Structure formats: C-alpha cells, structure tokens
Amino acid sequence: MTLHPFSQDSAVCTRTLGKLCSELGTEPVMNFISQFHLLWPTRVARLHNALASHDRSIGEDSALSMKSAATMAGAHDLAHLAHLLHAAFRDGDQGAQCSLISRIEAAGTGILSVLEEPKFAEHALLSYMGFVSA
C-alpha cells in the first residue's frame, strides 16, 4: 500500500465542489458542507467501532460511506484513504485498518478546516467557472 503524505493544499478540489455549485447552486452545496462537518464525528466513530469489534461488514460500509462523501466533497485524498480502508476491512488487515483510520482522522481535520472557510462554496464556483471558460 503506497500512501503519500497528506497535504492541506490539496485537501479539497475546488473544481469538484465548484461544478456541483454550478449544477445545484451554492446554498445546497453549503448545506452539504455543513452535513459533512456534522456527520464527521459519527463517521469516524463508526470506523473505530468496526475496528474495535472486528466487524468487517460495518467497517466496509462505513469506509464506503466515507469514500462517497469525500468524493462528493472533492476530498480525493480522503476518498482514496477510505477506498484503501474498505479493502483493509474486506481483507481483515487490522494493522492497515488502524493506520488508515489514523490517517483519515488527520486528513479530515485538514479538510474540515478548508471547507469551513467563509464563502468556500462561492470561491469554488468562481474557481470552476474560471476553469471552464479558460
């Protein structure tokens, strides 16, 4: 398993969220960001609970849920970590599970700080529109 160091500069792809803003509007995206933030502790707790209880099914489900939310948020590094975690739960690799959950928590902290920047959705939309028109 090859993992690269987490970089806050690449925590969130503004084009991904900008495209979503162009399709849905900034308010629904801001609501999604708010839900992402509110659900973060629950998602991480589910991963820890699956690890502690050796429950592959819950672990796989929780990792898949994390991957989907991260992909939608444009947090591609986090989505990749969640993908690897899903495989680690499937394979019963507890060492990898523990390591990946720690990395996911660290990545999530950086991602939440980026997503919580004031007017992030508007910034993402402008960034996306500039990319599309270029």
pLDDT given at position 126: 86
pTM given for the model: 0.85
**Domain-located, residue 36:** yes
> Is 7 part of any domain?
no
Q: Percent of the chain, pLDDT > 70?
A: 92
- As a whole number, the mean pLDDT across the chain is 89
Is 121 within the bounds of a domain?
Answer: yes
The answer to whether residue 29 is domain-embedded is yes
Residue 6 lies in a domain: no
Q: How many residues does the chain have?
A: 134
pLDDT of residue 120: 84
Q: Which of 70-74, 76-80, 126-130 has the lowest mean pLDDT?
A: 126-130
Query: What domain range includes position 90?
Result: 12-133
Alpha-carbon Rg for the chain in angstroms: 15
Residue 2 lies in a domain: no
d(CA 100, CA 133): 38
Structural domains of the chain, count: 1
Query: Per residue in 35-71, pLDDT tens?
Result: 999 999 999 999 999 999 999 999 999 999 999 999 9
pLDDT of residue 9 exceeding 90: no
Instruction: Give the pLDDT confidence score for residue 130 in this predicted structure.
Output: 82
Q: How far is CA 65 from CA 79, 93, 122, 125, in A?
A: 10, 19, 26, 25
Q: CATH no. for residue 66?
A: 1.20.120.160
| Residue 31 counted as domain residue | yes
In a domain, 5, yes or no: no
| Number of Cβ within a 10 Å radius of residue 15 | 15
